[in-house]
Each structure stands twice: as C-alpha cells, then as structure tokens.
Amino acid sequence: MSERLFKPQDAHKLEDPERLVWLPVAEVLRILGVRVGMDVADIGTGTGYFAIPLARMTGAQGKVYAVDLQPEMLNLLRAKLEGSLAPRNIELVQGEASNTTLSAASVDAVLIANVWHELDDPATALRETVRILRSNGTLAILDWRPDRNPPPGPPIARRIAATDIEQLLQKNLWTTGPPINVGKYSYCVIGHPPRE
C-alpha cells in the first residue's frame, strides 16, 4: 500500500462532524452540477461522505458508483447502507482512479475528492475518466489547498496546487474553469474532456 494512501484505521476522521463545517458537501455537489437522474462515480469514496448525499440528490432515477481501492473502506460504507433510511441507488465498486472497472460511457460525472494527491499516475487516471464519462460529462477534482496548514489533511509537501491540475488537464485537451475554493481547506477544479 502506498505511503500516501489514506489508511482505513483512520476512517473515524472521515466521520468527524466538524468535517461538515470545513468541507461542505452541498457546495461541492452544487459546483459539480448534480441533478436528479444523473449517474455519478465517486472515486475514492471512503466511508461515503459524498456518495450518500450524491445518491439522495440523484434520486431513484440516478445511480452512484462508490469506487474505492480498499475493501475495508467499502465494508464501512456497506454497513452504513444497511440502515432503513439509506439510499438504495449506490453500487459499491472495488477499483481505483486509474482502473475503476466501470463500463465505458457509464457516468455523467466523476468526483475525485481528496485523492488526487495520492495518485501515482494522474495521466492514467485522466484517461480512465475519459473512458467512463459520457459525452458532455464533468470531472470534479477536489483536493487540499497547499496554502492551508494541516491538520486536517496530508502534509503540505504532498499537496498539489490547483494550477498544476489545471495545467495537466489543459495539456490533455480538457476544458477547465478557474479553481474554486471550497470550505476552509480545499479547492475544486472542474473539467470537461476533449471532444472526439
């Protein structure tokens, strides 16, 4: 396991109620443009911080693919989904940003939240995103601002500037908007893949 990868034994940090204050879910979903009926891939889903609200917002007509490399994280989310009030439109998928195992052109949007700084091969992750996105799809990369000191989040040395992500997307012919600061510690870069 990569030293940069979030460790399952730290999953309690993902459930800290303070996280809702410094990383507002509703703001991220608004930026991503989530609507009823959308199919969304939440890459690096963890314990479902975004997947569960995504599922509620997309409704029964939509679907959320909760993708995580670590079976321990998927098991924690699976336990949450056993509740009677849990959404029923979430599919748990063991995969990673560079190999989601999802079908081609299967989603309208991809959210990669607090994972980009962990990736060994961002270019491969971008190619995989292009593969799974439908035409006119949207990618949201949410990650840690390097101008905000931890905690929370990884050490400053592991953080990636939003402008570096923008440049990588543009180099690969993606269309991007300007980075958007989200909450206290994060930014979001929205991208649209190159047209065929």
In a 13 Å sphere around the CA of 140, the CA atoms on its Cβ side amount to 26
Predicted confidence (pLDDT) per residue in 153-186, tens digit: 899 999 999 999 999 999 999 999 999 999 999 9
C-alpha triplet 147, 149, 153: angle, nearest 5°: 105
pLDDT at 83 over 70: yes
The region of weakest confidence among 13-17, 97-101, 124-128 is 13-17
The region of weakest confidence among 3-17, 37-51, 55-69, 171-185 is 3-17
Percentage of the chain exceeding pLDDT 90 = 84
**Backbone Cα Rg of the chain:** 15
pLDDT at 143 over 80: yes
13-29 average pLDDT score:
83
pLDDT at 2 over 70: no
Distances (CA, A) of 40 to 113, 152, 156, 191: 13, 26, 30, 15
Tell me how crowded residue 102 is: count the other CB atoms within 10 A of its CB: 21
- Cα-Cα-Cα-Cα torsion 17, 27, 159, 78, nearest 10 degrees, comes to 50
Which SS3 state, helix, strand or coil, does residue 157 take?
Answer: helix
Q: How confident is the model at residue 18 (pLDDT cuts 50, 70, 90)?
A: confident
Strand partners for 110? 41, 139
Predicted confidence (pLDDT) per residue in 24-47, tens digit: 999 999 999 999 999 999 999 999
CB contact at 8 A, 104 and 133: no
The CATH number that domain 8-42+98-192 falls under is 3.40.50.150
C-alpha triplet 51, 49, 15: angle, nearest 5°: 155
Read off the pTM: 0.92
The region of weakest confidence among 4-13, 16-25, 27-36 is 4-13
In a 13 Å sphere around the CA of 77, the CA atoms on its Cβ side amount to 32
Taking the domains of the chain in order of start, what are their residue ranges? 8-42+98-192
Alpha helices in 8-70 (DSSP H): 19-22, 25-32, 51-58
Long-range residue pairs from 154-157, CB within 8 A, at least 24 positions apart, any chain: 154/4, 154/117
Crossing angle of the two packed helices 122-132 and 162-171, in degrees rounded to 10: 60
Distance CA 128, CA 79 (A): 28
pLDDT at 1 over 50: no
pLDDT at 151 over 80: yes
